[in-house]
Amino acid sequence: MSQRKVIVGLPVYNGERYLEAAIESHLAQSFGDFELVISDNGSTDGTQDICARYASRDDRVTYLRSPVNRGILWNHRRVMEPVTGTTAYFRWAGADDIMEPGLLAAMVGVLDGRPEIEAVMPATKNIDEEGVIIRTMERTLNLESADVRQRARQILLANYQHVIAYGLLRAPSLRRMRTGPNYIGWDPVFIWELALRGQVFQLVEPALLRRFHRGSISRVKTVKEMRKWVEPNARTGMSFPHWKWAYEHGRALLSTPMAVRDKLRIGALLMRSTLWQRSQLARDLTQAVRRGLRLSDEYTF
C-alpha cells in the first residue's frame, strides 16, 4: 500500500520509443513524494525491459504487467487501483509525454494552498516525434470562476485540448466522480463533471509537453482500429458515440451535488449545446447504417 502523497498512473502499450523520456521527466521532478505506477498492457516490444529496469533502480516506480493487451480503458482504470484513502493527489501520465522540471511541484503547491480548487491543469506545449515544440497552446478555457454555471458554459463553448486529466486531481474527489475511463471518448465528460464539482486552476508555467506522432490514438480513424486500441476483446465498437456522450453529460449533471436552480439552468444550457451538435448526432445514425451494410468502417469521432 502506497503512502506517497501523489500517485501518477502511466498506462503504456508498446511505448519503447518514448517511454524512457516520459519516466525520466518524472524522476527528475523537484517534488519527489510520489509513486509512479506503470501498467504495461501486454507490450510486445522493449517496454517490459525498460519498466523493469526503472523499477529496480528507484523505489518510487511500481511496475505492473498484463500478459495480454486488454485495452487502453482497462489500463487507465488499472493505474488507479493503488489510490487509497491516504492518497492526496492523482494524475494520469502519457507514455509519450514529458513534464517540464518543476511541474509536479507547481501543481501540488496550488492544491495544497487552495482548498477550493479541485484540479490543476498544466500549461501545454505540443511536441513532434523528435521532441521539437510545434505549438504552445493558448489559454482558451477558464474554469476558475466560483459560479458553477460559468464553468459549465466554458466547458460547452470553449475550444480546448483535453489535458485536465493529465494535470493533478484530488484523489478523494476522483473517487466520488461518476465519470471515468469506462467508454470511448470519456475525457470530455470527465472534464465536464470535474468542472461541475469545483474550480479548476490552470498554470502559466511549467508546461506539459504533449507528443503528437504517427502511433498515437488521435490518428485512429476506423471502428476496427479503435476497437483494437480501446477494447480488444469487444465484439462491436461504439456505434453512436455522440449520442453516448450526450447521455453521459446528462447523467453526470444529475449525479453532481448542486442547487436545484443551478442544475436546471445548466441542464437547459446542455440541451441547447446538444441541439447544436445535431449534425454529428445524425452522422452517427447514417454511419451506423453504412457500417451495417459494410459500406464503411469510418469512425464518427
pLDDT averaged over 10-residue windows placed end to end, the chain, 301 residues: 87 95 97 97 96 97 95 94 94 95 97 96 91 84 95 88 88 93 90 96 93 66 62 64 94 96 97 93 84 67 58
Distance of CA 145 to the CA centre of its chain: 22
Q: Under a CB-based contact definition with an 8 Å cutoff, are residues 39 and 10 in contact?
A: yes
Coil vs helix vs strand at 234:
coil
pLDDT at residue 298, as a whole number? 66
- Which residues neighbour 177 within 8 Å (Cβ) at sequence distance 6 or greater? 190, 193, 194, 197
Give the per-residue pLDDT at 144: 95
For residue 250, the 8-state DSSP code is H
Q: Supply angle C-alpha 106, 60, 130, rounded to 5.
A: 65
> Which CATH class name applies to 6-218?
alpha beta
Residues of the chain with CATH 3.90.550.10: 6-218
Q: How much is the pTM?
A: 0.90
CA 35 to chain centre: 18
Alpha-carbon distance of 177 to 54, in angstroms, equals 32
Contact 95, 15 (CB under 8 A): yes
- pLDDT tens for 35-61 read 999 999 999 999 999 999 999 999 999
pLDDT digit string, tens, across residues 67-93: 999 999 999 999 999 999 899 999 999
* The three grid cell numbers given for residue 33, joined into one nine-digit string: 513524494
Q: How far is CA 180 from the centre of its chain?
A: 9
